[in-house]
Amino acid sequence: MKTFEQLVSEKFSIPVEEVRDELSSKDIPDWDSMNYLLFIADVEKEFSVSFSMDEVLGASTLGSIREALRAKGVEV
C-alpha cells in the first residue's frame, strides 16, 4: 500500500520529503485540474474511499484532502 505522501509525489512530481499539508495548487506546478482529478482517483482507489463532489471541489490544500480521508476513518 502506498502512503499519501507517495501518491502526492508520484502524481505531482515532487519529492516525498517536500510533501506538506499547506501545499496547494499555487505551490505545485503539476497541480492542474486534470492531474488533481487523477490524484483524487488514485487516493480513492488506494484507500478504498469515495469522495463527494463537494469534498473534491472544496479541497484546496493537501491538508484538506488528508482531513477528508481522516473523516472517513483512514489513518494518514
pLDDT tens for 12-45 read 999 999 999 999 999 999 999 999 999 999 999 9
Domain hosting 53: range is 4-71
| Helix/strand/coil for 51 | coil
Whether residue 36 lies inside any domain: the answer is yes
pLDDT given at position 59: 96
Render 12-47 in DSSP notation, one character per residue.
HT--GGG--TT-BTTT-TT--HHHHHHHHHHHHHHH
Whether residue 76 lies inside any domain: the answer is no
Residues 61 and 23: beta-carbon distance below 8 Å: yes
Whether residue 31 lies inside any domain: the answer is yes
Domains identified in the chain, total number: 1
Mean pLDDT over each residue of the chain, to the nearest integer: 97
pLDDT tens for 2-21 read 999 999 999 999 999 999 99
